[in-house]
Amino acid sequence: MTPSRTSGGKLLAVLDAFTRERSALTLSEIARAVGVPLSTAHRLVGELRRWGGLERDLDGRFRIGLRVWEIGALAPRGLGLREAALPFMEDLYEVTHQNVQLAVREDVEVVFVERFASRSAVNVLTQVGGRFALAPTGVGQVLLAHAPVEVQERVLAAPMRKYTPHTITDPRHLRRLLADIRRTGFAISEQQVTPGGVSVAAPILSGDAVVAALSVVVPGTTAAAVRSVTPSVLAAARGISRVLTQSTGGGWPLEPPTVTPSPDPLPGRTSA
């Protein structure tokens, strides 16, 4: 039997119905996604609009409101980290004019906090604020390599999507790769998400804890493509770590909250 949701839970479910792929929804679509009658959806949407959580287009569809962005900007893991990282990311971008990415782990997914890219850079699937699987991306591999054992085992035990012919989906192979990352201090992902794209990623620390990862994605098919930029990525990650540790005293949140699946999952959610 599915547990009933509180009024607050239903309001959150309305917000949760919006994704990057479905950023504008009609009232009927919201009602279907949340699993409530149209009259209930109308009341919930009205409450969110008055608060500023939803806005209505001229065509009658609803979108996430500015108030949600204002609240999200207060999240310390994104704000403080981004402020510490931006100068180093800008320097990396000026050197490479390729994709420079900053990410954190949220349970078994990677969340991209910031990204720089030129029009001529490798076309990637990642977006700021977007989520992606940990295993195939350079930043995700770094974060997974330093995640609690329980998180690693869940990822290794779950089916892994094959984005390209080069995506590693063998748990034994991935386990060895994670050990290599802990040993070498960086990860190289060769065409595992994007054909013709290779990334090198390094961990960002607060004190002794890995709290984020930094990467550069360049055109190429083998690890040789990132050989020249690897020292710069490592140096930038160390610089961000130093600033972050000094500004927080090493007191950064060590373990992100575990996301427990809803007992009545909403349709249409994707991880990337």
- Percent of the chain topping pLDDT 90: 54
**What integer pLDDT is reported at residue 77 of this predicted model?**
53
Give percent of the chain above pLDDT 70.
85
Please provide residue 196's backbone torsions phi and psi, each rounded to the nearest 5 degrees.
Answer: 80, 15
pLDDT higher than threshold 70 for residue 237: yes
Task: Give the pLDDT confidence of 248-270 residue by residue, as tens digits.
Answer: 555 545 444 333 333 333 333 22
- Determine which of 1-5, 134-138, 203-207 has the lowest per-residue pLDDT on average: 1-5
Round the average pLDDT of the chain to a whole number and report it: 83
Identical fold between 7-71 and 76-248? no
Mean pLDDT of 240-253: 71
Q: Look at residue 6 and tell me whether its pLDDT is greater than 60.
A: yes
Mean pLDDT within 13-25: 85
Question: What predicted TM-score, i.e. pTM, was given to this entire model?
Answer: 0.67
Assign domain 7-71 to a CATH class: mainly alpha
pLDDT exceeds cutoff 90 at 84: no
- Return the domain boundaries, the chain: 7-71, 76-248
Evaluate if residue 271 carries a pLDDT over 50.
no
- Is the predicted pLDDT of residue 11 greater than 50, yes or no? yes
Q: What pLDDT, on the 0 to 100 scale, is given for residue 248?
A: 58
Phi, psi values for residue 194, rounded to 5°? -125, 120
Distances (CA, A) of 135 to 99, 101, 138, 227, 254: 19, 16, 8, 22, 20
Confidence of residue 80 (pLDDT cuts 50, 70, 90): confident
pLDDT tens for each residue of 162-216: 999 999 999 999 999 999 999 999 999 999 988 999 999 999 998 888 999 999 9
Which one has a higher pLDDT value, 145 or 243? 145
The correct answer on CATH 3.30.450.40 for the domain covering 76-248 is yes
Residue 81: per-residue pLDDT: 83
